[in-house]
Structure 1
Amino acid sequence: MLKIWVAILALLNVVLLSACNSGVEQVELESNLVELLSRAERDQVYIEEGDFVMGDFGAVQNGQWLPYFPPTAEIDEAHAVELSGFSLSAYETTWKDYDTYSLIHDKPIVIRSGGEEYPREAYLQNLEHDHDLRKPARVTWQEAKDYCLWLRDKTGIAFDLPTSAQWEFAARNRGSKDWIYPTHDGKATPNGARRGGEGCIFWTGVCSVGTNLPPNPLGLYDMAGNEEEWVEDWYSETYYRESNGVKNPTGPLEGTKKEVRSLEVGSLSFSFSRRAMPAVLSNGSVALAGFRCAVQSPESIH
């Protein structure tokens, strides 16, 4: 915790300048910065090392293994993975935290839509809006990466994006084959499961972070539902077939698309919850997704 307070003190001069330039009160920005850095450490859930079968691990019926989704079984081929311990945020990064980060770096506060950007107010409080400060932030992969590395730089803690294997291991309750869906109980969630989530928007399905479903047994919220999430890995249709038995896989060395992970509540099973996202979409707009930061250390930070 001492590292956090050292980081806060070092940033106060920057906060003063940023507050003046943005119209946000200095006291508010300072308070939000203190909260952000403190919570970034506090919300990390330590996940012990282990091994699991990643991908479309399928089911055994009458003594025969069958994939859950045959059309993509080759791309999502089940393969053995071993992971060292790591930590993962219990929550997706919110607009409140990302706005604080943006203000400190004098980045514009905008809405992106259809390849265009429109200015908006920081710390928007409107539960009927996707940019409400309690909703998950949607940013580019590089912006998500930069945010996590900023936390690393300011705290001295090894923050970064999680790998795809780490994300899946955590979402499946340490890789349990009983966790077919990345929900709180590993089971499919019936239609209408968004009832009870704070400020859920019908046409996007986005709710305030951590309010829709209970956490999974590790204490992680919104691994199913809310925004898809960026992970570290490049996407490859062949990587799963090439990485059986790899310890701490990080994906291909290069590529043209990044992976996003998650699963729409009430949708198909967990095995199919990864997809590729190009930097620029077909309509010319940038690719946006949510994210949560991990701590790439085999030891707990608490």
Structure 2
Amino acid sequence: MEGIYRFGAFVVISLALAGCDDVSSQAMNGTESSDQDNVPPNQEAVAALVQKTMDNLVFVEGGSFQMGDFGPIDPKAEGLYYTADTDDEPVHKVTLDSYSISAYQVSYADFDIYTEATGQPQINIEGRNVEYRAPDVPVGVDWYQARDYCEWLADQTGLPFALPTEAQWEYAARSRGQFQLFGTFDGKYMNPGVNFPTREEIKSSTPSGRIGPHTIGLYPANSLGIYQMGLNGFEWVSDWYDENYYEIAPEENPSGPDNGNTKVLRGASFSEGDREKLLINRRNSVPDLSYDHPQGNLTHRPFRLFTVRCAENSEKKP
């Protein structure tokens, strides 16, 4: 995969060093800088994270594709739908501008740098979720946390980072809209040890020792160079959910309804089978993952199931 170099990390480091010089000179003069509070305590880690993020962006050239359950127009499906759902119908033409998307999901190590830099507590350090916490597995977040992380990257870089739209997610997952059903390197059903982790690899990824989120990038990426789309938990996108949206969606750069009650999710839970991991599947959840009615002592869905990767909406490849 070709790395994409940006100036983000250099800018962060330069500003940080300049800020240190300013603070030193002002301290000698008995004054304090109002900018001092804006320098993160872990500025070197932030700079490294920004650089890694830039390097791991995959440029996705814009174009048109048939979004949704493409079974009726796929010769291999013999006119049949791939899912029994109706919210991924009708298949419809979508045209997208070029953009970039992260090759990898955001990890706990990444997110810990962000929370420290912004003065927030670490997440998922109590209860069952902590058992699935490891530096190199996808972070478990609600929609608001996912959005805020991508917007923080925008603040750090001056670039238009955001959650991907649902259309951007599917277009990239299907290697620019090809008739691919799965996010494996060959687009085929999961074959443990070949294009998907074995049970042993999954269980050893976290302290839980159970099936759940697993190490990022264990197996080769899709043909664009993007890893595990739809294969390592649910991924948040920016769109509000409407089961009938495909019937009214605009062709160019659809971004979902103006409002709603739930947000779109792509991907599948870890205990679900191959059919649930189809790249055309649509799921949805309330943004904060809360239950309408508490289930025993549980007030929220398990955060470990939900994660994020960010998009960067510049139309030209640097």
Counterparts in 2 of 1:57 and 1:108: CA distance versus 1, 3 Å: same
Report the Cα distance in structure 2 between the residues aligned to 1:264 and 1:102, rounded to whole angstroms: 26
Corresponding residue for 1:80? Answer: 93
TM-score, with length taken from structure 2: 0.77
8 Å CA contact retained: 1:52, 1:82 = yes
Deviation per residue, 1:227-285 (Å, 9 max, x gap):
21110101110101111x51010011100101111246851162543201113234321
The residue aligned with 1:220 is 226
1:185 aligns with 2:186: yes
Tell me by how many angstroms 1:159 deviates. Answer: 0.8
SS at match of 1:38: helix
Q: Distance in 2 between matches of 1:99 and 1:150?
A: 13
- Max Rg structure: 2
Counterpart in the other structure of 1:274 = 282
Length-normalised TM-score, structure 1 = 0.81
Offset of residue 75 of structure 1: 4.7
- Name stretches of at least 5 consecutive residues in structure 2 with no aligned partner: 1-5, 21-35
Q: Percent identity?
A: 32
Amino acid of the residue matched to residue 173 of structure 1? S
Deviation at 1:72, TM superposition (A): 1.3
Contact 2:183 2:227 (C-alpha < 8 Å) held by counterparts? no
Say whether the 8 Å CA contact 2:164–2:310 is kept in structure 1: yes
Determine if contact 2:265/2:283 at 8 Å carries over to the other structure: yes
Write the distance in 1 (CA, Å) between the matches of 2:251 and 2:210: 40
Match of 1:205 among 188, 192, 212: 212
1:255-266 aligned at under 5 Å gives the runs 255-263=260-268
Q: How many Å separate the matches in 1 of 2:102 and 2:75?
A: 36
Choose 283-292 or 194-203, whichever is displaced more. Answer: 194-203
1:9 to 1:15, Cα distance in 2 relative to 1, 3 A: farther
CA distance in 1, matches of 2:100, 2:150: 13
Give the residue type in structure 2 aligned to 1:66.
Answer: L
Give the aligned partner of residue 259 of structure 2: 254
> Per-residue displacement from partner, 1:34-66 (whole Å, max 9, x unpaired)?
210101111110010111111111145699632
Given that 1:200 and 1:206 are in contact with CA atoms closer than 8 Å, whether structure 2 keeps it comes out as: yes
| Deviation, structure 1 residue 181 | 1.5
CA RMSD of aligned residues (A): 2.9
The 1:61–1:173 alpha-carbon spacing in structure 2 relative to 1, beyond 3 Å, is: closer
